[in-house]
Structure 1
């Protein structure tokens, strides 16, 4: 049985160093993704993230950071299972950056397919929000998921 993996990507019209900092700096990340974090992403650090639409905090463990190139971390997917997220940044023409994200893996079954759909939607949203924040200074996430509260 093959395993499922989420893949998402986008090109952002900002230099790679600005995109990298928006991903690892919790103060910047709170302008488009999370509402708060226990700190900046640094290799080996364990952090707690809070999202605007949820009361609970989500633990993440930063695995690897390569300045302006790569970020990886793991987070829980429920039932004690952890998944690894990898973000690769590549400089592109016009002083822009291509961001590619992978997350996985899950079994190719009903639960895995539900996870794949939800997380693919989530990473596409993350990338759109990152682009909107960096290129236009707006927070697309603000209020977007209020319907999930309660």
Structure 2
């Protein structure tokens, strides 16, 4: 991506952690719920995957967050088990790749094929871009320092615009 557009964005972060542990954080229901979600359910042919079982292409998912009553459903499009996965997400696609660099892993998240209507520009491009920035920082804090930055103590669901105003939603 040489220019900024509303149909995609990229977020990158170096995290000092083993690549295998980072993939677990993205590629298993237990892993992704440890730093990102309140619950993640992956199913294959109608059967729920075990919490530490790696996701596979063709799996369906249901994601639930802290402080949001809704859920996201989608499909795992690719998952190689080591350093790359791609999912359908919020009427678009998200890929995560992991690349070792000295004593860290470069995590690259791309969200793309974002629709170009005004609502998608606001909610998907702007909302998800801000959201992923926080969640990647949360993952780094969790992996490198064992702390979580997201809000789990205070219920933010009844505060108007909380998803746009709270930085640690």
TM-score, with length taken from structure 1: 0.84
**Structure 2 partner of 1:27:** 30
Distance in 1 (CA, whole Å) between partners of 2:15 and 2:92 is: 26
- Deviations 1:94-114, CA, capped at 9 Å, x for gaps: 1x1000011122345533431
Q: Does 1:105 align with 2:113?
A: yes
Residue of 128, 131, 155 corresponding to 1:122: 131
CA RMSD of aligned residues (A): 2.0
Quote how far apart the aligned CAs of 1:124 are.
0.8
> 1:1-150 residue pairs with structure 2 within 5 A?
4-39=7-42, 41-75=55-89, 77=90, 82-94=91-103, 96-108=104-116, 110-114=118-122, 115-143=124-152, 146-147=155-156, 149-150=157-158
**Structure 1, unaligned stretches of length 5 or more?**
none
Q: Is 1:49–1:58's contact at 8 Å kept on the other side of the alignment?
A: yes
> Runs of 4+ in structure 1 displaced over 4 angstroms?
none
Aligned length: 142
TM-score, with length taken from structure 2: 0.75
Select the structure that is richer in strand.
1
Quote how far apart the aligned CAs of 1:73 are.
0.5
